[in-house]
Amino acid sequence: MQPIKTAILSFGLSGKAFHAPFIALHKGFELCGIWERTKSDSLEFYPDIKIYRSLEEILADDSIELVIVNTPTATHFDFAKKVLEAGKHAVVEKAFTTTVEEAAILKELAEEKKLMLSVFQNRRWDSDFKTVKKIIQEGWLGEIMEAEIHFDRYKEELSPKPHKEIPAPGAGILNDLSPHLIDQALNLFGMPQAVFADLRMTRPGSKVDDYFEILFYYPMLRVRLKAGYQVREPFPAYVIHGRLGSFLKSRGDVQEPLLVANHKPNLTDWGTEPESEQGLLHTEKDGKVIREKVPTLQGNYYDYYDGIFQSIRNHQPVQVSAADGINVMRIIQLCFESNGERKVVSL
């Protein structure tokens, strides 16, 4: 079967660490080229690829089947729309777009042209999240009553990337980090009935939101999502309470630091957490109380791209669909509305 000839629109952190290594690893893809406007840094890692100097060059290349839109969020809609109009499949980085309306237009266009369109939600394949999902699905906690998901950091300095720190569509932590947490919550529990959000600017000199607390309302369940840059001692990343028991898990996935350090992923021991990061399960089964560490599942972002291959070549359902991306955008839009009006907003 012919490999899927693929081009990437940027070779910054996401292109270099999260996309190119897994596309290069998967035998179903051929990494053909990367858009670098002036530099040629990617040739150091992938000497056989082509350097494109413009998006138009990529769109005009009939051999390219799949384009990874991993440029700043404000460009996602325009670039992804042009990619789809050129008859090419698209993977779009989070946040999917800057508005729900833009996301819906892309979904409709992909369906009209019978093209694969997916949002890059790689955190579904983090070792920690996979383990949490398994514990919930296997019923160890009973009916879930409360869940809390954190993505905390300690970092006061502002990002050197202007598009992250200058007030504009797509800027701020709600657009940058919340798509990961929102997608995970929706993947576990589905769409909530209502949302409340509190956004703040906490770092010296910050001009965009750099802290959020989001509350999802379900009939009985409450889900809290939090992220900020003023957390030196992190809370467990996942705190799940059910009628039978609780599960606490750190954010222990090792993939990002390894990828940033230029380690190459593999299909054997990649994404294996140290035992010290195992989650704590405190519950009961068959009348017996259990309080023990739980081995962490292996994580691997390769599985996201394997799903993309299966969707394009074997017409399997898209694992992270445009509809999933629209739902995340709906929540983000409601969060801005809730924060502005200081009230709970119904879907």
State the pLDDT at residue 322: 98
Residue spans of alpha helices (H) in the chain: 13, 20-25, 55-60, 76-85, 100-112, 127-137, 162-165, 173-176, 178-189, 255-260, 302-314, 322-341
Omega of the bond leading into 95 within 30 degrees of 0 (cis):
yes
Is there a contact between 32 and 66 (Cβ–Cβ < 8 Å)? no
Q: What are the structure tokens assigned to 80, written together?
A: 């992804």
Q: CA–CA separation, 340 vs 39, rounded Å?
A: 42
Angle (CA) 298-300-305 rounded to 5° is 150
Whether 156 shows a pLDDT value over 90: the answer reads no
Whether 47 shows a pLDDT value over 80: the answer reads yes
The domain locations on the chain are: 4-122+304-320, 123-299+331-346
Find the largest Cα–Cα distance for the chain. Answer: 66
215-238 pLDDT tens trace: 999 999 999 999 999 999 989 999
**If we measure between CA atoms, which residue out of 245, 254, 284 comes closest to residue 136?**
245
Whether 30 shows a pLDDT value over 90: the answer reads yes
State the pLDDT at residue 192: 98
- Quick one: fold of 4-122+304-320? Rossmann fold (3.40.50)
Report which secondary-structure segment, H or E, holds 145.
strand 144-152
State the pLDDT at residue 15: 98
Q: Across the strands, what pairs with 293?
A: 280
Which of these ranges, 194-198, 203-207, 258-262, 321-325, has the smallest mean pLDDT?
203-207
State the pLDDT at residue 161: 81
State the pLDDT at residue 1: 83
Confidence of residue 51 (pLDDT cuts 50, 70, 90): very high
Whether 160 shows a pLDDT value over 90: the answer reads no
The answer for residues whose C-beta is within 8 angstroms of residue 248's C-beta and 6 or more apart is 236, 238, 239, 240, 279, 280
- Which string of DSSP letters, residue by residue, matches 45-96? T-TTSEEESSHHHHHH-TT--EEEE-S-GGGHHHHHHHHHHTT-EEEEESS-
What percentage of the chain has pLDDT greater than the value 90?
93
State the pLDDT at residue 331: 98
The average confidence (pLDDT) of the chain is: 97
309-346 pLDDT tens trace: 999 999 999 999 999 999 999 999 999 999 999 999 99
Q: CA–CA separation, 248 vs 235, rounded Å?
A: 10
Whether 163 shows a pLDDT value over 80: the answer reads no
The pLDDT of 287-306, averaged and rounded, is 97
Q: CA–CA separation, 126 vs 277, rounded Å?
A: 13
66-110 pLDDT tens trace: 999 999 999 999 999 999 999 999 999 999 999 999 999 999 999
Q: What amino acid occupies position 15? A: G
Q: What are phi and psi of 31, to 5 degrees?
A: -75, 105
Whether 166 shows a pLDDT value over 90: the answer reads no
State the pLDDT at residue 164: 82
Confidence of residue 8 (pLDDT cuts 50, 70, 90): very high
State the pLDDT at residue 28: 98
Q: Structure pTM?
A: 0.96
Q: What are the structure tokens assigned to 275, written together?
A: 């035992």
Architecture of the 123-299+331-346 domain: 2-Layer Sandwich (3.30)
